[in-house]
Amino acid sequence: MNTRSQGLHHITAIAGDPQRNLAFYAGTLGLRFVKRTVNFDDPGTYHFYFGDRIGHPGTLLTFFPWADARPGRPGAGQATLTSYAIPAGSAGYWENRLGRLGVTGVVRRERFGETTLRLSDPDGLGLELVERTAPRGEAWPGSAVPVAQQITGLAGTTLTLRGTDATADLLVEALGFAEGGSDGGVRRMLSPDGSAVDLLRDPAGPSGTMGAGTVHHVAWRAADGADQLRLRGELLGRALGVTPVVDRQYFQSIYFREPGGSLFEIATDGPGFLTDELEAGLGAELRLPPQYEGNRAAIEAILPPLEVPAA
């Protein structure tokens, strides 16, 4: 029997200026800033989490922002488009809102029979808002965006690949995806949670390079630690190099590289973002994992101050 993931957990990208990143996602897009912490592998830099009311898996976009980040180049071997679900009929609201807030270059088009808006964040990260009824997040009343138009969660991602077959096989056989047809040369794979991974074949274009405005990794859900270990065994059985389980404070993670070159993670649903602060105060203060609490003063002295946008 195939193991299967429960769908998308989070997507993590690299950004430049932290305040600009925070203003765009918590202000312009109206997401909740659910956690202000540090990169556990580089604690002198921030790690931001944006999501729904309490940061449920499947709603999370996270960033490693630092002011001096060099721009990356989207290309083969990367997740090159991050898609969010918006309610049916809300594209017009979003066109107006983005225009009013100075976001230029927003393009409306139909993909796979769905209305989509293509845009870029301030670092050039490719984003898409897709009218799709696949709600998984919970509305956040504190958002500047009315509940009826709020982003409901991640709709999917696009992987740019030299060839699509090996990645498609992995998605189907190890993670429980199904073929979802093709449109304009893009091959869609459907996740059990209603999100989609689109495979864009680009045999001759440039390889992606990591930097601001590019995705660092895509994370899939495991229900719990046992489910994660079962998936880990499945990946090892496919001769993929997989890390041991790593404690990420808000979930447990394993990492591996899919055959097309993108870094994938499998993360547990728990313990979640209420493990170290109350719901009302999510994102308000810097949270550090236990191994860095002793260095809090030094870490806070390095990190630039932040202002969370008011609703």
Q: Encoding tokens for residue 2?
A: 């195939």
- Pick the stretch among 6-14, 15-23, 25-33, 275-283 that binds Zn ion (CB under 5 A): 6-14
Q: Of 12 and 149, which has the nearer Cβ to Zn ion?
A: 12
Nearest distance, CB of residue 96 and Zn ion, angstroms? 33
Q: Quick one: the chain helix, strand, coil %, rounded to 5?
A: 20, 40, 40
Question: With contacts defined by CB under 5 A, how many residues of the chain interact with Zn ion?
Answer: 3
Q: Of 219 and 231, which has the nearer Cβ to Zn ion?
A: 219
Nearest distance, CB of residue 102 and Zn ion, angstroms? 30
Q: Under a CB-based contact definition with an 8 Å cutoff, are residues 219 and 253 in contact? A: yes
Q: Of 73 and 248, which has the nearer Cβ to Zn ion?
A: 248
Nearest distance, CB of residue 83 and Zn ion, angstroms? 17
DSSP assignments along 91-106, one per residue: HHHHHHHHHHTT----
Q: For residue 60, give the 3-state DSSP assignment.
A: strand
Q: Of 11 and 199, which has the nearer Cβ to Zn ion?
A: 11
Helix ranges restricted to H, 107-175: 165-175
Residue 83 engages Zn ion in binding (rule: CB under 5 A):
no
Cα of 96 vs its chain's centroid, Å: 24
Residue 12 engages Zn ion in binding (rule: CB under 5 A):
yes
- Pick the stretch among 110-118, 163-171, 206-214, 218-226 that binds Zn ion (CB under 5 A): 218-226
Q: For residue 17, give the 3-state DSSP assignment.
A: coil
Q: Of 12 and 195, which has the nearer Cβ to Zn ion?
A: 12
Q: Does 271 sit behind a cis peptide bond, omega within 30 degrees of 0 on the bond before it? A: yes
Residue 219 engages Zn ion in binding (rule: CB under 5 A):
yes
- Pick the stretch among 180-188, 215-223, 283-291, 294-302 that binds Zn ion (CB under 5 A): 215-223
Residue 143 engages Zn ion in binding (rule: CB under 5 A):
no
- Please report, for residues 15, 74, 173, 204, 284, the alpha-carbon distance to residue 211 in angstroms, rounded to integers and kept in the order given: 8, 9, 31, 21, 27
Pairing of strands 196-201, 153-161: parallel
- Pick the stretch among 7-15, 52-60, 255-263, 276-284 that binds Zn ion (CB under 5 A): 7-15
- Give residues 263-282 in contact with Zn ion (rule: CB under 5 A): 265
Residue in the block written with tokens 């002198």:
44
Nearest distance, CB of residue 31 and Zn ion, angstroms? 17
| Cα separation, 111 vs 88, whole angstroms | 14
Q: Which residues would be at the binding site for Zn ion (CB under 5 A)?
A: 12, 219, 265
